[in-house]
Amino acid sequence: MDSAIPEHLRQARRCPRSTPEGYQPPFPAWSSRFSPLTGQVVMAYFGVQAQFALALSDLAPITERFAHTGGPLFWDAAECTDAQGFHNCMAIAYWADVQAFETWQQRSGFATWWQAAEREQGPLGWFMEVVCPTADRFETLFSAPDSPEGIGHLATHLSEPIEEHGYWGSARDRLPLAQVDALNAGPVVDASAASGVRRRLQGRDNLCLIRSGQDWSATRDRERGLYLDDVRPVLETGMRFLRDEGGEIGCLSCRFMQVLDAATGEPLEKTFGLAWFDDLANLERWAKTHPTHVAIFGGFMNYVQTLNFRVQLRLYHEVSVIPASAQFFQYVNCHPGSGLLSR
């Protein structure tokens, strides 16, 4: 059985792992493999918000520029309604290196468009949430070997089935840097305003980002009913808790995103939770002990056991732990509860 940590990133542990002695996972899972990555990747979340319904076309000033020199290697689109009732439409884009991202911003005209005073006026709010982790600061997990999502689209292939999943603490065991670093939280984020409606957040060491998704498009009949009637409602309850009350347990922002077809803007049978935690430990604590996640985990285990582990539901996640120097957050004409502004 393979390890989630690729061979070139393995090192002698100073921080113990949580894998139980002689552990055998109850079902297979896989991690992304790259060729390898030698610097920072870019995970960029571009968004537009309004008090009325938006369409994917409202993001066209950004997404149409993706075809320019240095554009992302992959992007997808999603929408959600935030706690204040604003509709948010987002494009999530991935680059394999920072220089390509910077080149794209300048040559595509995005940087000029973003800085224009027009972004600070009118009914639309705009935001950028960008993190640039190195390969030792993020991990991926997939329940199926043939359905890449997120940063997995930049991978050359997947691992063999891995050992580190299905138990509490497995996400930390999959993070290469966690072999030697406890990844403790840094100081609290402070907001500074370049103007009254253009706000930039300072970074926080070891900020933790999780994108955790569900794809039920291949489910049929009994399995589809079990997912939609039993699992999804519990998942939505957990996402609402993190969105509305997560601050008390270290969740700085949570969006439960409906994935959209990037060409047509139509909803797909895919969702994902996008959550920022002040550190990995608080994400782990919520997952292991909070009633909302215990219910999610219990519901999923009942689901797969009922179906004798033969399921078409596809799950994935990516977890990143990012240094302050590799973060950029800016909100333009957005309401004060937007994203990380609310914390």
Residues labelled catalytic: 317
**Strands 125-131 and 327-332, how do they pair?**
antiparallel
Assign 138 to helix, strand or coil.
strand
Orientation angle between helical segments 291-306 and 232-245, nearest 10 degrees? 160
Q: Which residues pair with 34 in a beta bridge?
A: none
CA separation, residue 131 to residues 206, 207, 208, 209 (Å):
11, 10, 10, 9
**C-alpha–C-alpha distance, residues 26 and 36, integer Å:** 29
Largest CA distance in the chain: 60
Do 148 and 318 touch, CB atoms closer than 8 A?
Answer: no
Half-sphere exposure (Cβ direction) of 216: Cα atoms closer than 13 Å = 18
**C-alpha–C-alpha distance, residues 20 and 321, integer Å:** 24
Q: Which residues pair with 138 in a beta bridge?
A: 320
Phi, psi of 127 (to 5 degrees): -150, 155
Q: Computed from CA positions of residues 221, 29, 235, 261, in that sequence, does the dihedral angle turn out positive or negative? A: negative
Name the residue among 40, 216, 33 with its Cα closest to residue 140.
33
